[in-house]
Amino acid sequence: MTPQTWLTQEAYDRLRSELDHLTTTGRTELANKIEAAREEGDLKENGGYHAAKEEQGKQEARIRQLTDLLRDAKVGEPAAGTAGVAGPGMVVEVRFPGEKETERFLIGSREDHSTAIEVFSPASPLGGAVTGHKAGEKVDYTLPNGRGASVEIVSIAPYAR
C-alpha cells in the first residue's frame, strides 16, 4: 500500500492540472512527434525518433507517479485526532543541539511548491524522525550519510495558509 501524502489544495489542483494535461494534450503531442520522426525513414539512425520515444517514457513515468500520488492524497486539513502530534499537514518547529535559532517546516509532499515554508516528506530522515512525536520531545535519527543526529521538537501546529 502506498503511504498517504498530504497536500495543500493549491498543490493538489496544480498536480491534477499537470496530470490532465499530460494524459490528454501531452500524449497527443508526443504521439504526433513520434509519428513525424517515424516518417523520416530509417529508425535505427533517427535521433529525433529515439529522443521522442525517451521523452514518451519519461512522460508515462510522470503520469504513473502523479496518478499514484493524487489517488492517495489527503488534501487540506491534517488528519483528525493528530493535534499536537507531528505528521503530514503539520508545521513543526525544531531546534538542533547547540543552536539558539529554530527551524520550521511542513511535513507533506515534496511536490507541494505552494507553500512559503520548506516542506519535508514524512519519508525523509528528519520528517520521518519527528512524525508521531510531540513538542518537547528530543528525537534521534540517522542522516543519509549514516551519521546520527538529534533534534528537539519545539512546537507543532496544523498548517494554515
Structure confidence by residue, pLDDT tens digits, 114-137: 677 888 888 899 999 999 999 999
DSSP class per residue in 48-96: HHHHHHHHHHHHHHHHHHHHHHHHSEEESSPPTT-TTB--TTEEEEEE-
**Is 0.85 surpassed by the pTM of this model?**
no
Domain 5-73 coded CATH 1.10.1740.10: no
Please give the pLDDT value at position 1.
43
- Please state, as a whole number, how many other Cβ atoms lie within 10 Å of the Cβ of residue 29: 15
Per residue in 47-64, pLDDT (tens digit) is 888 888 899 999 999 999
In this structure, CATH architecture of domain 90-158:
Roll (3.10)
Residue 78's pLDDT is 56
- Beta-bridged to residue 134, according to DSSP, are 85
Cβ-based burial of 130 (10 A; exposed 0-12, middle 13-18, buried ≥19): buried
* Confidence (pLDDT) at 61: 92
Dihedral of the CA atoms 32, 24, 10, 132 (nearest 10)?
-100
> Could you give the residue range(s) of every CATH 3.10.50.30 domain in the chain?
90-158
- Mean pLDDT for the chain? 85
Q: Range(s) for CATH 1.10.287.180 in the chain? A: 5-73
Per-residue pLDDT of the chain (161 residues; tens, 9 = 90+): 445 677 777 778 888 998 999 999 999 999 998 888 888 877 777 788 888 889 999 999 999 988 988 888 877 765 544 568 898 888 999 999 999 999 999 888 777 666 778 888 888 999 999 999 999 999 999 999 999 999 999 999 888 76
Residue 105, SS3 per DSSP: strand
pLDDT of residue 125: 94
- Report the alpha-carbon distance of residue 74 to residue 72 in Å, rounded: 7
